[in-house]
Chains A and B, each alone.
Chain A
Amino acid sequence: DQQVKQNSPSLSVQEGRISILNCDYTNSMFDYFLWYKKYPAEGPTFLISISSIKDKNEDGRFTVFLNKSAKHLSLHIVPSQPGDSAVYFCAASAEGGSEKLVFGKGTKLTVNP
């Protein structure tokens, strides 16, 4: 039973364009959501998060949108850069982030120069 789903295993975009990565969840107890970025041979690194009391959080080129009614969140990267090429994991947690993280399978983003 996958509680966090990333249905696109890969995404390819041109440098300078927008990258949109999607994530769906099924557990209504989740109230804190995170995006992690992972390069090969490294551990996941925290990118951006959002609490369920918000519907948008922005940090530089990265924006996360949360649609609670649809149990859907998305990560927008604008403009995309070749260095953004990595695997992006969506993760969710209950109890405001103090509970364990449940991860999606990841989406491999390739930004072409």
Chain B
Amino acid sequence: EAGVAQSPRYKIIEKRQSVAFWCNPISGHATLYWYQQILGQGPKLLIQFQNNGVVDDSQLPKDRFSAERLKGVDSTLKIQPAKLEDSAVYLCASSLRDGYGYTFGSGTRLTVV
């Protein structure tokens, strides 16, 4: 079974630039999550999708972050404009509807300079 795919693996941008991350979940997983992990912290949920609908985006900084999951499969997370404090690893995870099979991707390491 293929895992959760994320790209790119690494990204370096200047502050105020825009960046987008892509995630392809495990086939058949209805739920998709984006987490932000700042160095020295645990992963923090940014947004949760159930199919293509948003379940929880309470911790997403909506003035600069946006995410979509078209057709209930792939998802993109965008930051526009980026700030220095956005430097982190962005993890995508997916699971079956009831949370079973929760699996993380390898993440995208973003550095904002």
Contact = CB atoms under 8 A, between A and B. Distances in A.
A100 B105 contact: no
A32 B98 CA distance: 12
Contacts of A102: 45
B91 A44 contact: yes
Q: Of B4, B100, B102, B109, which is in contact with the most chain A CB atoms at under 10 Å from its CB?
A: B102
Contacts of A36: 104
B: interface residue count bin: 20 to 34
Interface stretch (B13-21, B35-43, B75-83): B35-43
Interface stretch (A13-21, A58-66, A75-83, A91-99): A91-99
A103 interface: yes
Contacts, number: 54
Contacts of B33: 100
A45 B45 CA distance: 16
B45 A98 contact: no
Contacts of A99: 99
Given A101-B45, A105-B40, A43 B98 contact: no
A103 B98 CA distance: 19
A45 B44 CA distance: 16
11 contacts: A41-B106, A43-B104, A45-B104, A46-B103, A89-B42, A89-B43, A97-B99, A100-B56, A101-B102, A105-B40, A105-B42
Interface of B: 4, 33, 40-45, 48, 56, 91, 93, 97-100, 102-107, 109
Given A43-B91, A96-B99, 9 more contacts: A4-B42, A6-B42, A32-B99, A42-B107, A89-B43, A97-B102, A100-B48, A101-B45, A104-B42
